[in-house]
Amino acid sequence: MSVKKDGCTDLLSLWMRLGDWIGSHLMLIVPAGVAVGVLFPHVLLPLKPLVPTFFAVMTFQNSLSNNLAAMRTAVRRPWIIAITILTVHLAMPLIVFALASLLFGPTTPTVAGIVLEYTVPIGASTIMWIGMFAGEVALGLCTLLVSTLISPITIPLTLQLLAGAAVEIDAPGMMGSMAYMVALPALVATVFNEASHGWAQRELAPATTPVSRLLLPIIVATNATGISKPLHNLTPTLVGIMILMLCLAIGSFLAGMALAHRLSKGDEARFVALSFSCGIRNVTAGALLASQYFGPEVMFPAIIATPFQQVLAAIFGRVMKLVLERK
Q: Identify the architecture of domain 2-221+229-326 in CATH.
A: Up-down Bundle (1.20)
Q: Rounded to two decimals, what is the model's pTM? A: 0.76
Q: Counting every residue, how long is the chain?
A: 327
State how far the alpha carbon of 291 is from the alpha carbons of 270, 286, 299, in Å. 35, 9, 6
For 67, the enclosing helix (H) or strand (E) is: none
1: DSSP letter: -
The pLDDT value recorded for residue 150 is 83
Per-residue pLDDT of the chain (327 residues; tens, 9 = 90+): 444 555 667 787 888 888 888 877 777 887 788 788 888 889 988 988 888 888 888 888 878 877 778 778 777 888 999 999 999 999 999 999 999 888 887 777 888 888 888 988 888 778 878 888 889 988 988 888 888 778 878 888 888 888 776 556 566 776 677 678 777 888 888 889 999 988 998 889 888 888 888 888 888 788 778 777 777 777 888 888 889 999 999 999 999 999 999 898 889 999 999 999 999 988 766 766 776 667 666 777 877 777 788 788 888 988 898 888 776
Cα angle value 242/126/250 (rounded, 5°): 30
State residue 1's pLDDT score: 45
User: What 3-state DSSP class applies to 281?
Assistant: strand
Q: Nearest-CA neighbor of 306 among 123, 132, 32?
A: 123
Q: Which residues pair with 122 in a beta bridge?
A: 281
Is the CB of residue 123 less than 8 Å from the CB of residue 280? yes
- pLDDT of res. 217: 84
